[in-house]
Amino acid sequence: MSALLELDDVARHFPVRDALGRARGAVRAVDGVSLAVPQGTVLAIVGESGCGKSTLGRLALRLIEPDRGAVRFMGEDLRALSARALRARRRDMQLIFQDPFASLDPRMTVEDAIAEPLKLHDVVPRGAKRARVAQLLERVGLRPEAARRWPHEFSGGQRQRIAIARALASGPKLIIGDEPVSALDVSVQAQVVNLLQDLIRDLGLTFVLISHDLGVVRHIADRVAVMYLGTIVEEGPAELVFGAPRHPYTRALLAAVPGHGARAAPIEGDPPSPIAPPAGCRFHTRCPFAEAVCREQVPVLQGQARRSEVAAGGSHGSAGQEHLAACHLQDRLPPAAPLQERKAGGDRLRRLQAHFGAPAPQPETTGVNA
Amino acid sequence: MTPPVLEVLGLSVEFATDRGPLRAVDGVSFSVAAGQTLAVVGESGCGKSVTALAIMGLLPRGVRLGGAIRLLGEELLGQPGDPWAGRRGRDLAMVFQEPMTSLNPAFTAGEQVAEALRLHEGLSPRAAMDRAVEMLARVRIPEAARRAAQYPHQLSGGMRQRVMIAMALACRPRLLICDEPTTALDVTVQAQILSLLDELKRETGTAVVLITHDLGVVADHADQVAVMYAGRIAEAAPAAAIFARPEHPYTVGLLGAVPSIEGGAGRLASIEGTVPDLRAPPPGCRFAPRCPFAGPDCEAQPPLADIGPGHVAACWRAPLDQVLAA
């Protein structure tokens, strides 16, 4: 499996200045991250606010410049590209933002908004533009008549569909979604999550999902990277990161998701400041298992101890199945509490729910906000 | 039997807009007993926050209110003067979603907690400040005395929400309304704040109305649940019953629309379409245009009917086992 997108020890620090403009340290937003996203897979980057996940997404598209490290897209270092070559490359990499109210220009009709990337990258001849816009609208479950209308005429969910159509217009290979469904209400969020899954499958997209919503991540992602204070603390296949988390922070995140029985908060306190992250393991100040070594040495992101790999016939190391954690104690932690499946509604609820949701994306039938 | 702390009966709230009246809340009834948490669940625009503001007496003048709001057996609606004056902060208090905009940036955390104590309990500034520091310690703010002297911008989001809770609980109110108290917070901090609220509720016996869109939060922290859709209550029941035997199609859809961290194959149940415009709501059942079980009879408004112990649903198809049998 060749990686479509590869990050190699990427870092970005933002200087912090005092009232007189003098440098006073730096926010280490992304501090040495390496990742590979194979073609046709979905990687989710999860973490709490300020962990650096959005900065990482922008670095991956070279929308901001890294201080160090390499970003390779289809094997090509984006940092080595000229401005012109980079612009041409952008046809293959697109971004979907969180807020569909802010990301669409209110003075452009839906058709203009979706056609802009078509013009920019000369994707279709001028005469075919309108047909292509109609096709894109249909693809995201909107009627072609929507083309002549303005963004303010649409609800949040419909606007996010328009933003998705715009991102698809140039026929990209990679899409990065920065909290693409976080601003939406539950029922509308489910529609857009289903749409994204259909698009990823049908168009063979490579997708990087930046999200704090672990339910959405579990539903869409093949692999998951968990970030804490600018570094990746755990990375692996979604079912293993959720089912057998190897980093105490991942466990705390999962235990904090409501809906699995009220109990004591899994960890106390707030994340420390990224201006002065703790020495050693950055999580040691909140970690219930921390030992002396955690305060002194920075843990390396690595797989299970070699012996267990041998015991399992050495098959665990294969690409795509690697499960890595940056924790000194990862082989000594007590087993993670299993997730309790919510079965309250049982079979009856499942049968009732089967009546909901269309098998394929369908036009929304009601209520364009007049 | 002691009367409930709060009783809301047939509450309606109507706003005048440029394009005609908008009835944001339409005939909503519920009650909350001491030491209980009622969760009011729904999506944006369902009327849950407007209901909260109506109970707090915080809606602007000119908004038309109907029905009854009884606090400790006393009617608040339609009374001369301002029946909330002197009660707000003392008998009932509210925690808002966004602690940064609801705290005053010009006063320290301690001063803001002390204000209510001076106003309602007539404490001297010094005594009020001492009690404020005590309250901050009770909401588990470390180094409470030092934090009391800090301004909101010096505190983290979770810390600010703790200050809001300390302010709200300073005078031991009988009713606490929390409007999306953790929506702006990260998940680990959310868990801390919600378990703090549970603990304080157990200690003080305060009745809590928890307004939220998060069904996970409801499952863990509510005793009773009212599900709202387009200004009306669609279904209300004890929390366990809502999850085990939902009887309104909207509740069924909502439960299936939330992706869970246990995974689970396939597509999410999605409720097609969008919420109706409340200036021109559909006739009859407001959920009918999006409901997979709707029929011609749904053009008449279904009453909120009993279908189990403490369990009501406004649906002609309830109990839904009929649809499964069909």
What's the complex ipTM? 0.86
What does the pLDDT read at residue B265?
59
Cβ–Cβ gap A262/B195 under 8 Å:
yes
**Mean pLDDT (chain B, rounded):** 92
pLDDT at A268 over 90: no
Mutate to test the interface with B, among A46, A355, A362 (most CBs of B within 10 A): A355
Higher pLDDT, A309 or A246: A246
Q: Domains (ranges, CATH) in chain B?
A: 6-103+174-325 (3.40.50.300)
What does the pLDDT read at residue A178?
95
- Report, as an integer, the average pLDDT of A159-185: 94
HEC string of chain B equals CCCCCEEEEEEEEEEEECCEEEEEEEEEEEEECCCCEEEEECCCCCCHHHHHHHHHCCCCCCCEEEEEEEECCEECCCCCCCCCCCCECCCEEEECCCHHHHCCCCCCHHHHHHHHHHHHHCCCHHHHHHHHHHHHHHCCCCCHHHHHCCCHHHCCHHHHHHHHHHHHHCCCCCEEEEECCCCCCCHHHHHHHHHHHHHHHHHHCCEEEEEECCHHHHHHHCCEEEEEECCEEEEEEEHHHHHHCCCCHHHHHHHHHCCCCCCCCCCCCCCCCCCCCCCCCCCCCCCHHHCCCCCHHHHCCCCCEEEECCEEECCCCCCCHHHHHC
Cβ–Cβ gap A365/B190 under 8 Å:
no
pLDDT at A106 over 50: yes
Q: Which residue of B has its CA nearest to A264?
A: B195
- The answer as to CATH 3.40.50.1460 being correct for domain A3-15+25-221 is no
Mutate to test the interface with A, among B243, B262, B293 (most CBs of A within 10 A): B262
- Report, as an integer, the average pLDDT of B39-47: 93
Mutate to test the interface with A, among B272, B287, B291 (most CBs of A within 10 A): B272
Residues in A closer than 8 angstroms to B255, CB to CB, are 345, 349, 353
pLDDT at A361 over 60: no
pLDDT at B123 over 60: yes
The region of weakest confidence among A103-112, B27-36, B270-279 is B270-279
pLDDT at B36 over 60: yes
The predicted-structure confidence for A177-193, as pLDDT tens digits, reads as follows 999 999 889 888 999 99
The predicted-structure confidence for A344-358, as pLDDT tens digits, reads as follows 788 899 899 999 875
Please count the residue pairs, one from chain A and one from chain B, whose beta carbons lie less than 8 angstroms apart. Answer: 195
Percent of chain A beyond pLDDT 90? 66
The beta-carbon neighbor of B214 closest among A258, A260, A362 is A258
pLDDT at A306 over 70: no
**Boundaries of CATH 3.40.50.300 in chain A?**
3-15+25-221
